[in-house]
Structure 1
Amino acid sequence: MSTELSTYRKFIYEDDALELIKILEDNQIVNELVNNSSQLDSSFGGDINTKQFELKIHKDDFVFVENLEEELIKDEVENVEEGYHLFEYSDEELVEIVTKKEEWNKFDYLLAQKILKERGKEINPELLKIINKQRIESIATEEISPTWLIVIGYVCAVLGGLFGIFIGAYLMYYKKALPNGDRMYGFSRQDRSHGQNILIISGIAFLFWIGIRLFSYKNY
């Protein structure tokens, strides 16, 4: 088993993550909760949109944990009250939940399938596998080339600003997590090459301007 942990799910509320962590620990599943909330939270009143917690586990444990969750909430899904908000969703909205399961909690994902089945729109297990595979393939596409960011990166690099180094590193090393635990580079090879160039130019320009300032200071 790989020692690297992959993002299994993202949470807005830490308490929701802690509930799942308790289940993982009861089943001796190695996990890590990473707080990616913006440092600006306290300054701007704790805006909920800046909060994000990532729960990470071993990629090899993904299927086991998914099956474990489904087994634990099976009775809740079967006995949910009719007033639950998903019962008001259209068939199209419920299908969207099923096709984008990484954006929803496990309860809503399973309940959406149950409601569709009751409406005569059941999605069989084989079709679910195809849907999940296609979803991963759609997410696994590279980001649109960030031309504006590349331009800003080169400008900052020439000026010797540290911001150029940050932009270069971001373009080179940014990766996104897929629902199955895999990770892939977010930008194309060409964009990553721009990132490398920006890093190199930034480093050279930074040393150049430092040298200029030291020389000017000595001759002052």
Structure 2
Amino acid sequence: MDTVVPVGTWRTAGFRGPRRIDADAVAAAVDSAGCLVVALADGVGDTAGAARAARIAAQAAVSVPAADGPSAALIAARRAVLAEPAAGDCVLVVAQPFGLGCRIAWVGDVRAYAWDGRTLLRLTTDHTLAQYVRDRGGVPAPAMEHQVLTSVRTAAPAEYGLSSLSLPPRLLLTSDGVHKTLPHPVIAEIAGHAPDPAAALVAAAREAGARDNATALVVDLVVGNVQPPPTGPQPLMPAAA
């Protein structure tokens, strides 16, 4: 029997920037119920181990069925990273459809946004020293913006960031090379008007002088009747540019 679930197409783009290694990674999969799950990870540091951690974490996160919840996806990512001797550490955001809405979980300073056709809503709060100081009325030093307080390796489930919302037409996941380079109004303008928002976000970050890996993943979600796949999670390729 067909099941009514959120599905959609996704696009991604990335830019290594002046870093030696691109330590960002994205992944997407359709679970056994036909739900599209997406993740974006950003390795901590400019090393091969950081890049490996990001790839492992993103793939592990999307292997968890949406029904298990996004916290379970972060737990799976942590186990996978800890099990790999060559992996460093990373931050991670995962988005799962649930009913007619979407659930988000994250650690670190990766972000998720929703575009409803008029407004860009930020769904995450950075787990950084700068945000910690700001929340307590202080003025952070610029370097604090890049000091994360949670990561895939270190965070306990109680420290995970969690949010949810009614199903948005468009979901954006970004690494800090995008959202710490571009102001919110620019991200909103691109999210709502660019033919390929992922590519446009990365191009704008590059033009603005991004000093870090810059990666965007954009999902256009719809609700429809989908026949669940016969087996477990199915990896997806992004929509053609």
Question: What TM-score range do you get, normalising by the shorter chain?
Answer: under 0.3
Q: TM-score when scaled to structure 2?
A: 0.23
Larger helix proportion, structure 1 or 2?
1
Higher relative contact order (CA 8 A, sep 6+): 2
Larger strand proportion, structure 1 or 2?
2
Q: TM-score when scaled to structure 1?
A: 0.24
> Higher Cα Rg: structure 1 or 2?
1
